[in-house]
A and B are shown apart, each in its own frame.
Chain A
Amino acid sequence: MNPLLELEAVSKTFTRGGLLSRRTVEAVKSVSFRLEDGKPEIFAVIGESGSGKSTLARMILGMHRPSGGRLRFEGKDVAALTAAERPTFMAKVQPIFQNPFEAFNPLKKLDFYLFMTARRFGGAASQDGAEQASDVALRQVGLTLDEIRGRFPHELSGGQLQRVAIARALVSKPRLILADEPVSMVDASLRMSIVNLFGELRDRLGLSIIYITHDLATAYYIADRLIIMRKGEVVEEGPAREVLTHPKHPYSQQLRAAVLTPDALSPPPQPTI
């Protein structure tokens, strides 16, 4: 099987300071994994802030060039894409961001984003085509164009807005979606609807999703495989349920132990006064 996305010892170093005070920060150190073509899955990247997971996401999106290693999408090196190949790549790899309220300009209508993506990346030649492509994408997330047309971001709830963000990513018919902490800003009653939607997109549309999170419980719930990152390095990888049920690396065990669950209600310590 051909890989859809293949990372081979990918690393990223940031340099700051001048000639004399040069300091380098290794944000991502030699990360390797691959997602197979024709085998859609939800691949979770888990780690605390500063573990390099967002830098990894930016490299996969082609926004940063890796300092070392190879990053290939459909067999092509992402860093070596020509200007002509880039729009096709961008159509196939789409991001979803953490805070839907910040992802959209509050002064622009939401349909503007959908139509724009349809025209630039979705191959829509006319306004009619763009509207149709947007409606198809919105229906895949449980909305319709009639509900969204002419609305501004503040008129929708966080959960609805995140659905629109997902629909926007779907307009260009991507093969891979990068979701960076997509539910951490969404209300509790709507969170599971977004997470379940990812499962549906994988099963129905055959999309692969890279789900970046620090929430182990949702990763257990929805992910097929995962990697756990710490300080730029992958410390553990494997099938999501197995790794989270029996973590082997000390750091994974520490993460697992820090998960608060309603079942683990510890009896309150006796008051001292």
Chain B
Amino acid sequence: MNGAPILTVENLKARFRTKHFGVSREVPAVDDITFSIRRNEIFGLAGESSSGKTTLIKTIAGLVRPPLELVGGRAEFSFLPDAPTLHQASPAAVAKVRWRHLSYIMQASMNVLNPLRRISATFRDFALPHLGGTAGDFERKVTEHLALLRLDPSILDAYPHELSGGMRQRVTIALATICRPDFIIADEPTTALDVIVQKDVLGMIRSIQREMGSSVLFVTHDMAVHAALTDRLGVMYAGCLVEEGATSAVFARPRHPYTRHLIHSLPRIGDDRQRASLAGSPPNLADPPPGCRFHPRCPLAVQRCRQARPAMLEAEPGHRVACHAVEEGRS
């Protein structure tokens, strides 16, 4: 899977700026992030709530609206030769790209599907302008695509409330993939689902991705999902990317103390060892700690960690970590 990158993110910085009663606050939610996603791979983005995952995907997708603003850096898709960054492109150009090249699978399927319209109408609303062709052609395409996802065509006549949560999430996946997009952003698509349904939905995302050869940016806080699904993994903490590498390598040998904690604290059936918890809580991004943002909770922190921010350096080929301890060989 050594393809050319489909998405290149370089030194991306975005912040929220709010102004209340003359007091202006800046929250750097995405702080100097660099990574790339190749063709035909599932890239996982891990991190807890308020670590900047959603802001990062918003910035990548060009959804930069006040109070969010772009400070610097770039996020470029290779399928956009003339207008490389989406937030600079004209609305017409963005409309052309969306769904056809770039699509989304969202967490709340009920918010995607119009409760007053049948599923077939929702398919027409979303996909007909992009696929074109006659109504008959379109219907045939939709039915074929549903068959590919092992969904019964009879769901097209149903209203969203008649389907179970898992089924609705499958329909949104079918919607997101019907135009065979190059790039799919999935934001916590299985968080609201039960374990059995979750496993099916993850299997479905993987098989459709392999079948179409698209790239997926898969965002979830659940490390077990990353282990089961993703090819490469990036871990975010307080707006920064702290570790990135092949998922199997990150799980086999996590280098950043935060990643190590996330992986080692996962309880497992059949393992009776006591799990330690991490002291402290995630920092407030409006007032982040100086130096490495993880240092107040880090067991390996020394003076340097409190002063200087660690750079993202390659620890092993293809495995990058932002940690002074790793750099100095202490970890």
- Chain A interface (Cβ < 8 Å from any Cβ of B): 48-49, 157-160, 187-193, 195-196, 214-218, 220-221, 241, 244-245, 254-266, 268-273
Contacts and interface: CB of A to CB of B under 8 A. Distances in A.
Interface in B188-215: 194-199, 202, 206-207, 210-213
Contacts of A263: 268
B81 interface: no
B224 interface: yes
Given A49-B165, A273-B213, A187 B49 contact: yes
Contact of A188 (B48, B165, B197): B48
Given A48-B196, A187-B221, A188-B48, 12 more contacts: A48-B195, A189-B265, A217-B267, A221-B275, A259-B195, A259-B224, A265-B228, A265-B248, A266-B228, A269-B206, A272-B211, A273-B211
Contact of B194 (A49, A160, A244): A49
Given A48-B196, A262-B227, A272-B211, A216 B269 contact: yes
Q: Which secondary structure characterizes the binding site on chain A? A: helix
Contacts of B267: 192, 195, 217-218, 220-221
| Residue in A257, A265, A268, A273 with the greatest tally of chain B CB atoms within 10 Å | A268
Given A262-B223, A266-B228, A193 B277 contact: yes
Contacts, number: 128
Contacts of B198: 258, 260
Contacts of B124: none
A196 to B, nearest CB: 6
Contact of B263 (A196, A214, A262): A262
A241 B267 CA distance: 13
A260 B297 CA distance: 28
Contact of A196 (B210, B224, B277): B277
Contact of A260 (B40, B197, B227): B227
A269 B210 contact: yes
B278 A196 contact: no
Contacts of A196: 274-275, 277
Contact of A244 (B213, B263, B269): B269
A270 B277 CA distance: 38
Contacts of B207: 269
Nearest to A184: B191
